[in-house]
Chain A
Amino acid sequence: MRRDTLKGYLFISPWLAGFLLLVAVPFIDSIYLSFTHYDVISPPRWIGAANYKRLVMEDPFFWKSLAVTLKYAMIAVPLGMVFGVGLALLLNLNIRGIRFYRTVFYLPSIIPLVATCAVFTWMLNPQMGLMNSLLRLAGVEGPAWLTSQPWAFYSLVLMSLWTVGGSMIIYLAGLKDVPASLYEAAVVDGAGPWQRTIHITLPMLTPVIFFNLVMDIINAFKYFTQAYIMTEGGPEESTTFYALYLFHRSWRYLDMGYASAMAWILFLIIVAITAMLFTTHKRWVHYGR
């Protein structure tokens, strides 16, 4: 019996070591750090709740970054869901060449993120980029996408729609799980394609939609690389997302105590939003029949 225990722990020891050293201890440590002033060079100095107080009461950039992140969550996330579900519904129709279309729509999601950032920076170049040269064809002079307001923010939204294929695949898998018998019954009852979509397909898809909604909102709070590379948070902090501001605080200003407080607020916001979504989900998410 005791040999079994030892063997079991030996098998899981790599994860256990990683969990203790790289998750559990840092988790506790970051609570402590959030109550200190810490610049990595000298040891942390206890300052009580001063970081939290400064964040909430005195830091306009904290609120700005929170607002930018929530705006993204309220614009890019729903748009992405509409496009993702829409494409999946189209691909779920019984037509030829589905594999081809699926590949095309999914392909942008596998392009490495830094390459995507480079390509979009080039495409959105005001004088020479593809975007504005196409607009000129229609007689419109496009904006300086990445360096003007509010276009920098919407450029990032646009870019997020380009990679909607990732969620499309998940929706498509969800659609395949809708039992055909439901549709057959609906046809017998005289339901047309539109009614079938509204009353069968979408309700049956709500668990997947719910899952994606939670993940997308959490990801909005982790949104970093694109803004860091393409706009550096500008112009005038209009694309300074929460995670980007946190990064600036920690690695640009070495304000690690302050950044730890920000990380904890981020964590609590994510927990709160997830909990909130879960309390609403009984009302609109259908599991099974």
Chain B
Amino acid sequence: MRSRSPLALSRRQRAATHIVLLLMCLPFLMPILWMVTTSLKSNAEIFPQTDEAAITFSLDRIFPDQPQWQNYKEALETGPFVLYLRNSLMLCALNVFGAVASSALVAYGFARMRFPGKDLLFFILIATMALPRHVTMIPVFVIFKALGWYGSLLPLIVPAFLGHPFYIFLLRQFFQTIPTDLCEAGTIDGASELRIFTQIMLPLAKPALATCALFQFLTTWNDYFGPLVYINDPAYYTVAYGLQQFMGNHGSEWAQLMAVATLFTLPIIVLFFCAQKVFIQGVATTGAKG
């Protein structure tokens, strides 16, 4: 018989732990399940029947009798969600590219170049992370309005190209771990700083770049405040903003609302299961939530 470590749980303790954890799973999963099943129900299944005042829960009410796929079609047509989806994807692509490219460039400057004022500037960069956006958002709004950008997508695109302090910090840490000899070899070969950066450093930094890209995608996909402040033309609505508008205008069409919410969530869930490690390690090492 193998001797057990004193830290191991007894069989009964293990069973009890599993029961507690499985019960805990219910409240965490139920809202997601409810979102998906509601999106496939007919109105007759959602609203109370004439002989009842309100819905009382029963197990056979969780799943729809016949999945109503046309809810999705109707929802997509009611709000022009295909258009919103295109806007969101376009914003995501530009923001991911802009934020990753500019942050990597700046991070490389901070990690490998020597110039006066570097430490002070890096300290300022870190300090700006703690500055709540409320302090700057009004003057920034005034600036964008003065530039004539209010009502366009530019305020939601251009800032991404100016580097993101958090990604700069992450990438700088990463670049600093790459041995200098690699770059010195490049310098001897006469490669320019920009070539060392693009051809030696960037390929090595792929995992860190992927983390930043993922975070930026989530941020842009979820962003509600940006469109709320800057967008007034429905042609530029994003899915996040369109979903909230749909909630306001079609508040009692629960099946369609949940269909849109499901479609909005699906890409994130797929992304999560493809890149679970990046998600969890990213959150765990950086402390960034949500």
**Count, A-B residue pairs, CB within 8 A:** 279
Task: Judge if B72 is at the interface, Cβ distance under 8 Å.
Answer: no
- The CA of A112 and the CA of B261, in the complex, are separated in Å by 9
Given A17-B162, A115-B261, A167-B289: A107 in contact with B32 (beta carbons within 8 A): yes
Task: Judge if A130 is at the interface, Cβ distance under 8 Å.
Answer: yes
Task: Judge if B134 is at the interface, Cβ distance under 8 Å.
Answer: yes
Which parts of A227-285 form the interface with B (CB within 8 Å)?
229, 243, 246, 250-251, 256, 259-260, 262-264, 266-267, 270
Chain A: interface residue total (CB-CB under 8 A): 99
* Minimum Cβ distance to chain B for residue A152 (Å): 16
The residues of A that contact B132 with a CB separation of less than 8 Å are 218, 221-222, 263, 266-267, 270
* Minimum Cβ distance to chain A for residue B125 (Å): 7
Task: Judge if B222 is at the interface, Cβ distance under 8 Å.
Answer: yes
**Which single residue of chain B is at the shortest CB-CB distance from A127?**
B54
Which parts of A163-212 form the interface with B (CB within 8 Å)?
163, 165-167, 169-170, 172-173, 183-184, 187, 211-212
In-complex Cβ contact of A30 among B135, B229, B244 (8 A): B135
The residues of B that contact A49 with a CB separation of less than 8 Å are none
Of A4-12, A62-70, A71-79, which stretch is located at the interface?
A: A4-12
**Which single residue of chain A is at the shortest CB-CB distance from B6?**
A187
**Which single residue of chain A is at the shortest CB-CB distance from B221?**
A112
- The CA of A90 and the CA of B197, in the complex, are separated in Å by 45
The residues of A that contact B135 with a CB separation of less than 8 Å are 26-27, 30, 263-264, 266-267
Task: Judge if A56 is at the interface, Cβ distance under 8 Å.
Answer: no
Flag if B254 contacts A122 (CB, 8 Å): yes
Which parts of B100-131 form the interface with A (CB within 8 Å)?
102-103, 105-106, 108-110, 113-116, 118, 121, 124-125, 128, 131
The residues of A that contact B261 with a CB separation of less than 8 Å are 115, 118-119
The residues of A that contact B106 with a CB separation of less than 8 Å are 11-12, 14-15
Given A4-B114, A40-B142: A12 in contact with B109 (beta carbons within 8 A): yes
Task: Judge if B207 is at the interface, Cβ distance under 8 Å.
Answer: no
The residues of B that contact A184 with a CB separation of less than 8 Å are 7
B residues in contact (CB < 8 Å) with A: 6-9, 14, 17-18, 20-21, 24-25, 27-32, 34-35, 38, 46-48, 53-58, 61, 102-103, 105-106, 108-110, 113-116, 118, 121, 124-125, 128, 131-140, 142-143, 145, 159, 161-163, 165, 168, 193, 197, 218, 221-222, 224-225, 229, 240-241, 243-244, 247, 254, 257-258, 260-261, 264-265, 268-269, 272, 276, 279-280, 283-285, 287, 289-290
A-B contact pairs, 12 of them (CB 8 A): A8-B114, A22-B162, A95-B14, A107-B32, A110-B290, A116-B31, A119-B35, A122-B38, A229-B244, A229-B247, A259-B138, A270-B132
